Amino acid sequence: MNSRQKTVAIIGGGPTGIGVARELIEGGIPVEIFEAEADFGGVWNAEAESGRTYRSLHLISPKFNTQVPDFPMPEDYPTYPNHRQMLAYIRSYARAFGLYERTHFNAAVEELAPEGEGWRLRTSAGHDAHYELVVVCNGLQRVPRYPEPAYPGAFGGKVLHARDYKSADQLSGQRVLVVGGGNSGCDIAVDAVRAADEVLHSTRRGYYYQPKFINGKPTPQWMMELGNKFGTREETLAYIAEVFKFAGYDGTDYGLPRPDYPLDAAHPVMNSLLLYHIGHGDIAPKGDVERFEGKTVHFQDGSSAEVDTVLYATGYRRDFPFLDNSLLEWKGDIPDLFLHSTPRNHDNILFMGFINAAGGLGDGLKTQGLFVLNYARAFFGRTSGLERFLKAKTADTPDLGQAYFIESYRHQWEADLWKLLGHMRRYRDMLAENAPVKQEEPAE
């Protein structure tokens, strides 16, 4: 029953957890990391329960903006690394910044409870200590989410979630329905073609499908290099859509519904092969499911199909099993956090990595880590910058682009990346006011 004064406890050893830890350590703030698994990696740790990878998985964000700017990936990595390479990169990052010796592995946090001016943290490995400041980085992909309300009827075959998918071998010789139009659903549908007898893909709306390469460059880089070539956002999007169509990536040319939202109003679906396989008859696109009847799936368009397996790629729920949910303020199904990171009703806990944006890991990891560093410095120093920030988080409503995105469960935490990073820098600078130490702005 001991106390760790001025030591930050970090829950989770995935990319965000180690990114935050690195900045705190380099800024002179002691940290202890608590990781439930035997090694770092989070969703990239294929051997662990937290792993969300499968044999053929590659990144959907390219190397140039997934790598941390001052810690580049190896030169021999391809433009889109596979999940094994990503895991090796994460662990090399942790080794380079001394995180292994500051981490408790196989130490799942079982309880985090308010106590005095901080939190009492207890783990499955017997750790029991008090921390003044805690940073929760246990990830977005925790508990599988299924369609709500559930489809009527009972399905008579096998039911899987994307969490359970490890290899196309699981679907060998089967008639498979993949439900879900995000990146996981599209990637798994494409992967399933290699082994399944038949693949159907159910989506509720029209989507924009982006190829991974345009003009010999990763598509995100090609988009960034457009810069201010056009006078308005609408002109830029119209040009991008025209190029995608010319390259064969307009879903309506394959009989798919036209999206009813702008190209950048949803998280991008990066997939060069889905439309290819639809065009070759390997994947049969379907609309939303109406009901199940044994192994028969009835769709809302009046069609039906016999399938052996339904695989839901329908996302995940927020889950903090160690924390009483009543301690947080909620907005619908997710915690109501300022900048998607800072509770308005607690000053001694932060939640990092709980946001989606159209960009790679490297675009935000450094900025998030430096935000936490400045917060920790201000918090432990009780500076005027902290006082100003604590007032701001209860009164300010910074525009993160939230209203621009389509309405869906996952887009509740989608943000315009550049708006988000800009606001985080702004509040980071606010926190640095009267701080004992002020670091230079990194090149980003």
pLDDT tens digits, 336-361: 999 999 999 999 999 999 988 888 88
* The two structure tokens encoding residue 270: 């990066």
pLDDT tens digits, 370-387: 999 999 999 999 999 999
Is pLDDT at 413 greater than 50 in this prediction?
A: yes
CA distance 99 to 31: 9
- Cα–Cα separations (whole angstroms), residue 296 to 1, 100, 149, 283: 57, 51, 19, 18
- Does residue 388 sit in the same domain as residue 306? no
Residue 438 lies in a domain: no
Residue 179 lies in a domain: yes
Domain boundary among 312, 327, 353: 312
Range of the domain at 198: 146-312
What's the CATH number where 119 sits? 3.50.50.60
Is pLDDT at 94 greater than 90 in this prediction?
A: yes
Domain boundary among 312, 339, 364: 312
Q: What is the mean pLDDT of the chain?
A: 94
Is pLDDT at 402 greater than 60 in this prediction?
A: yes
Confidence (pLDDT) at 2: 65
CB crowding 124-148: b at 16 or more within 10 Å, else e: eeebebbbbbbbbbbbbbbebbeee
- Does residue 336 sit in the same domain as residue 234? no
Confidence (pLDDT) at 108: 98
- Considering the entire predicted model, what is its pTM? 0.94
Residue 169 has what DSSP assignment?
G
Residue 443 lies in a domain: no
Nearest to 175 by CA among 307, 313, 311: 307
- Does residue 378 sit in the same domain as residue 302? no
- Does residue 331 sit in the same domain as residue 277? no
- Does residue 243 sit in the same domain as residue 374? no
pLDDT tens digits, 116-141: 999 999 999 999 999 999 999 999 89
- Does residue 330 sit in the same domain as residue 300? no
DSSP 341-376: TEESS-SSEEE-S--EESS-HHHHHHHHHHHHHHHH
- Does residue 106 sit in the same domain as residue 18? yes
Backbone φ and ψ for 337, nearest 5 degrees, come out as -115, 135
- Does residue 359 sit in the same domain as residue 320? yes
Confidence (pLDDT) at 410: 84
Residue 440 lies in a domain: no
Confidence (pLDDT) at 55: 96
Residue 39 lies in a domain: yes
- Does residue 408 sit in the same domain as residue 342? yes
Confidence (pLDDT) at 444: 43
Task: Identify how many contiguous H helices and E strands the chain contains and give both numbers.
Answer: 10, 27
Residue 103 lies in a domain: yes
Residue 444 lies in a domain: no
- Does residue 246 sit in the same domain as residue 354? no
Confidence (pLDDT) at 120: 98
Q: Which of 11-15, 214-218, 347-351, 409-413 is least confident?
A: 409-413
Residue 425 lies in a domain: yes
State whether the Cα torsion 68-69-70-73 is positive or negative: positive
Confidence (pLDDT) at 298: 98
- Does residue 179 sit in the same domain as residue 296? yes
Is pLDDT at 332 greater than 90 in this prediction?
A: no
pLDDT tens digits, 168-208: 999 999 999 999 999 999 999 999 999 999 999 999 999 99
Confidence (pLDDT) at 412: 87
pLDDT tens digits, 40-93: 999 999 999 999 999 999 999 999 999 999 999 999 999 999 999 999 999 999
State whether the Cα torsion 370-372-375-379 is positive or negative: negative
Confidence (pLDDT) at 436: 54
- Does residue 155 sit in the same domain as residue 255? yes
Count of structural domains, the chain: 2
Dihedral angle, C-alpha 297, 303, 305, 311, nearest 10 °: -50
